[in-house]
């Protein structure tokens, strides 16, 4: 439970930083900590690790639904926000893990033990989270890797309003309906090890994410 407690502390700290002026309440269901935001203003960037959002995004909700392409990976930090997409989950994971994870034919990340993918809070693997197009960890994947526990970004091309389930590393994940972690929209804190369904209020709505 220590890891979960640490996640909660991190999530709270990050959200306080993100929206100093918003108020929030917590409820917990089946391992998923759901925090509902009330109206609030977007705070200015507050952390040293704040990256540059993907180009082409606005401070208000993105318009238009797009279909997630294949299996994508993003480092979450760095100039240019490199996003790579592959035909197979195996190739995506191989690149995101710098060759450490080699899926056998027919395997998915979910075939592997949790710690083989994510490591532990004291020995992280570098894989931070895997977002899925469908509930129950199905469909296209977006793997977030490297950058530590305090990173965020807008969804890359094709991933706006797509995510339905999340497999989370020890840091946890927060999804936001609006780009740029704008808390005036819906958002959800997801603790490790994630959730097979982000819930009706966030399903196919995430436009930005943060770790945690």
Residues that bind Ca ion (CB under 5 A): 161, 177, 205, 207
Q: What residue is closest to Ca ion based on CB?
A: 207
CA-CA distance, 5 to 8, in Å (whole number)?
A: 5
- Least separation, in Å, of the C-beta of 117 and Ca ion? 27
In the bound state with Ca ion, the residue whose beta carbon lies nearer, of 75 and 163, is 163
- Least separation, in Å, of the C-beta of 161 and Ca ion? 5
CA-CA distance, 120 to 61, in Å (whole number)?
A: 34
What do you get for the CA distance between the two ends of the chain, in Å? 16
- Least separation, in Å, of the C-beta of 205 and Ca ion? 4
| Strand residues in the chain grouped as ranges (E) | 24-29, 32-37, 71-74, 83-86, 127-134, 138-145, 151-154, 165-168, 173-176, 187-190, 194-195, 208-211
In the bound state with Ca ion, the residue whose beta carbon lies nearer, of 206 and 211, is 206
In the bound state with Ca ion, the residue whose beta carbon lies nearer, of 55 and 80, is 55
- Least separation, in Å, of the C-beta of 82 and Ca ion? 23
In the bound state with Ca ion, the residue whose beta carbon lies nearer, of 156 and 193, is 156
- Which DSSP symbol is given to 184? T
- Least separation, in Å, of the C-beta of 62 and Ca ion? 6
CA-CA distance, 138 to 158, in Å (whole number)?
A: 16
- Which DSSP symbol is given to 119? B
In the bound state with Ca ion, the residue whose beta carbon lies nearer, of 179 and 212, is 179
Both tokens of 57, joined, read: 């995004």
């Amino acid at each position: 439970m220590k890891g979960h407690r640490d996640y909660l502390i991190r999530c709270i700290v990050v959200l306080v930083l993100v929206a100093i002026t918003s108020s929030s309440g917590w409820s917990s269901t089946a391992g998923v900590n759901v925090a509902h935001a009330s109206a609030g203003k977007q705070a200015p960037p507050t952390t040293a690790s704040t990256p540059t959002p993907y180009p082409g995004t606005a401070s208000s909700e993105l318009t238009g639904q797009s279909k997630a392409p294949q299996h994508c990976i993003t480092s979450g930090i760095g100039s240019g926000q490199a996003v790579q997409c592959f035909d197979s989950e195996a190739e995506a994971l191989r690149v995101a893990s710098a060759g450490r994870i080699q899926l056998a034919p027919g395997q998915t990340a979910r075939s592997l033990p949790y710690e083989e993918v994510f490591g532990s809070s004291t020995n992280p693997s570098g894989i931070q989270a895997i977002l899925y197009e469908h509930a129950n960890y199905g469909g296209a994947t977006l793997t977030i890797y490297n950058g530590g526990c305090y990173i965020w970004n807008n969804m890359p091309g094709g991933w706006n309003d797509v995510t339905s389930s999340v497999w989370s590393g020890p840091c946890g994940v927060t999804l936001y309906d609006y780009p740029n972690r704008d808390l005036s929209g819906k958002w959800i804190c997801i603790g490790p090890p994630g959730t097979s369904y982000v819930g009706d209020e966030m399903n196919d709505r995430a436009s930005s994410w943060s770790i945690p």
